[in-house]
Amino acid sequence: MQAWDLLQQCQGQVRTAGMGGVVGIDMAAVMTVAEAVGYDRRSMAMLIPAAEAGMVAGYRKLDEQTADNEE
């Protein structure tokens, strides 16, 4: 629950590349927020990368769907 809450709080901390494709999150910013709200940094450091991978995969799928609809 804390990892999800943390991602919700940090949803603006995405890293983009090239033409705006999402490549990840700003882990330093996320960990700073985790510490500020009192979440266990070690737990978040283990959970957030998995959530980040899912988020990036979701954005890629959305980008592919958008590209298919534009054809």
- pLDDT given for residue 2 in this prediction: 93
* Average pLDDT, consecutive stretches of 10 residues, N- to C-terminus, the chain (71 residues): 92 87 93 96 94 92 85 72
User: How many C-alpha atoms does 68 have within 13 Å on its Cβ side?
Assistant: 6
Query: What is the pLDDT at residue 52?
Result: 93
Q: In 3D, which of 52, 53, 15, 48 has the Cα closest to residue 33?
A: 48
Q: Tell me, what's the pLDDT at 44?
A: 95
Looking at residue 68, its pLDDT comes to 84
Per-residue pLDDT, 63: 85
Domain definitions of the chain by residue range: 2-70
Cα angle vertex 60, ends 64, 43, to 5°?
Answer: 165
- DSSP 8-state code for residue 12: T
Measured distance CA(53)–CA(57) in Å, rounded: 6
Strands 14-17 and 21-25: antiparallel
